């Protein structure tokens, strides 16, 4: 674990790749979780639009708005002292043009306190425009949750050779456009290795195999707060959901028996 208090900035992730240090990334949506994960030494906290599914009960990430994302990003930033905070650009916040992308990404840095933003897909010109504006950008290739309707569900991507070669080319172009790192989601393990070797910026895998330069999980999945079944690539490091249910049941029993509060 790095010394707590040594702030991580976007350029440091590339240095970590060059040194062979694995990058640790988890999602966070509020100040409390951010403080705990930051204290644990997590390198990057992603304020994912996955909050729509994890916290808000939606079936996809598509309903999540810019206002909601800025609100949660600001909360995470307030709870973080060391980790790099990366904010997801939600659906229709950047697809409508570079000017909209700059305006919305700027809100994440100016109002949300983020250190970078993340954009899904091969949006090379948008990435270039944001980087030229001074906004660090993390890319995202493979399974793109904001394109779930076009993809026909949350399925592993780039399983055939042509799609794999295209993904490698997209990764190279994202690097050339100025992305400082990129998430690779739900692709074959071997492709994760190939992309990681083909580019100079770090890859952060989620269901993309062990050879990526780092890994990310939804924290609520890793902590056992989300219901089963979990995605196949998830490892449960705790079962806090079960503990919360037990604690609430014990509290309810004490109240109903008149045992809490004590006289």
Query: Which CATH number fits the domain that encloses residue 90?
Result: 3.20.20.60
Give a yes or no: residue 61 inside a domain: yes
**List of residues 6+ apart from 4 with CB closer than 8 A:** 39, 41, 81, 82
Reported as a pLDDT band with limits 50, 70 and 90, residue 92 is very high
Give a yes or no: residue 240 inside a domain: no
Give a yes or no: residue 248 inside a domain: no
Give a yes or no: residue 175 inside a domain: yes
- Tens-place pLDDT, residues 140-182: 999 999 998 888 878 899 999 999 999 999 999 999 999 999 9
Give a yes or no: residue 21 inside a domain: yes
User: How high is the pLDDT of residue 1?
Assistant: 40
- If one counts the domains in the chain, the total is 1
Q: Are 88 and 47 in contact (CB under 8 A)?
A: yes
Q: What are phi and psi of 89, to 5 degrees?
A: -80, 115
- Tens-place pLDDT, residues 51-88: 999 999 999 999 999 999 999 999 999 999 999 999 99
Give a yes or no: residue 86 inside a domain: yes
Give a yes or no: residue 4 inside a domain: no
Active-site residue set? 185
Give a yes or no: residue 177 inside a domain: yes
Domain of residue 61 covers 10-222
């Amino acid at each position: 674990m790095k010394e707590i208090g040594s702030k991580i900035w976007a350029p440091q992730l590339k240095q970590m790749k060059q040194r062979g240090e694995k990058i640790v990334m988890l999602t966070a949506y509020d100040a409390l979780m951010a403080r705990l994960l930051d204290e644990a030494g997590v390198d990057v906290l992603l304020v994912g639009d996955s909050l729509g599914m994890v916290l808000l009960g939606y079936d996809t990430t598509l309903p999540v708005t810019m206002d909601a994302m800025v609100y949660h990003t600001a909360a995470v930033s307030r709870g973080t002292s060391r980790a790099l905070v990366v904010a997801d650009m939600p659906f229709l916040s950047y697809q409508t043009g570079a000017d909209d992308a700059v305006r919305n990404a700027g809100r994440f840095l100016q109002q949300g306190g983020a250190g970078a933003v993340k954009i899904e897909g091969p949006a090379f010109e948008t990435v270039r425009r944001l980087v030229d504006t001074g906004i660090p950008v993390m890319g995202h290739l493979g399974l793109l949750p904001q394109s779930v309707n076009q993809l026909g569900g949350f399925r592993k991507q780039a399983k055939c050779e042509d799609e794999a070669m295209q993904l490698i080319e997209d990764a190279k172009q994202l690097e050339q456009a100025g992305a400082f790192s990129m998430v690779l989601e739900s692709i074959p393990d071997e492709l994760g290795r190939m992309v990681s070797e083909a580019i100079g910026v770090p890859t952060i895998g989620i269901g993309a195999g062990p050879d990526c330069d780092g890994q990310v999980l939804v924290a609520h999945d890793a902590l056992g707060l989300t219901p089963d079944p979990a995605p196949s690539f998830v490892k449960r490091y705790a079962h806090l959901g079960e503990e919360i249910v037990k604690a609430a049941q014990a509290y309810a029993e004490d109240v109903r028996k008149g045992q809490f509060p004590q006289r």
